[in-house]
Amino acid sequence: MRVLGIDPGTRLCGWGVVERQGTRLRYVGHGVVKLSVDDSLGERLVALEEALAKVVDEYGPAMASIEALFFAKDAQAAAKLGHARGVALLVCARQGLDIVEYPPARVKRAIAGNGRAEKMQVANMIRVMLGLTALPPLDASDALALAVTCLQASPLLAVVAAASGADSPRRLRGK
């Protein structure tokens, strides 16, 4: 199964693609969509939609793992993040991908063993787990961590979905 992880943002949006082959995880690709702060929010959201649609078309994931909205002290920043998340959700839903969401603390716990791990700690663990020779940019490593978290949980998601009568993991949300 191939999963696209998305770490949404209105200036930088990280993405990463990982697949599971048997019991092994295999790195497929990653990147960061860099959006111009000189553009209006609307223009950045359009550019984000176009870039994410190209990633989905190029890599053909079956699922998307998107960072869940978390409470921030800056309400305006949280609202902008919500706009970027909405675009990511829209792109993935339009492409028919199953979508799961994970809060940042859950991803950090799954990857680094600590829900309060620093971004660099998560990035180093992702580099090791996926056998990368170089450290990916932090936004991309967060996205790869989202994809890995989904792949680690996906066998359990399938069992829970079957037991609950859910027809896809989309109905389930990582918590």
Look at residue 79 in the predicted model and tell me its pLDDT: 85
Q: How many domains does the chain have?
A: 1
Is the confidence at residue 173, as pLDDT, over 60? no
Distance CA 125, CA 1 (A): 21
Look at residue 170 in the predicted model and tell me its pLDDT: 41
Taking only the tens place, the pLDDT of each residue in 51-98 is 999 999 999 999 999 999 766 667 787 888 899 999 999 999 999 999
Residues marked as catalytic: 7, 67, 139
Q: Work out the angle between the directed axes of helices 41-59 and 75-94 (0-180°, nearest 10).
A: 40
Look at residue 69 in the predicted model and tell me its pLDDT: 79
Taking only the tens place, the pLDDT of each residue in 3-50 is 999 999 999 999 999 999 988 999 999 999 999 999 999 999 999 999
> Which of the listed ranges 73-77, 104-108, 160-164 does the model predict with the highest average pLDDT?
104-108
Q: Which amino acid is at 123?
A: A
Look at residue 158 in the predicted model and tell me its pLDDT: 47
Q: Degrees (nearest 5) of the Cα angle 69, 5, 131?
A: 130
Distance CA 104, CA 106 (A): 5
Buried b (16+ CB within 10 A) or exposed e, 45-56: bebbbebbbebb
Residue 15's domain spans which residues? 2-171
Length of the chain: 175
| β strands within 68-137, DSSP E | 98-102
Reported as a pLDDT band with limits 50, 70 and 90, residue 112 is very high
Average pLDDT over residues 113-124: 95
Query: CATH no. for residue 146?
Result: 3.30.420.10
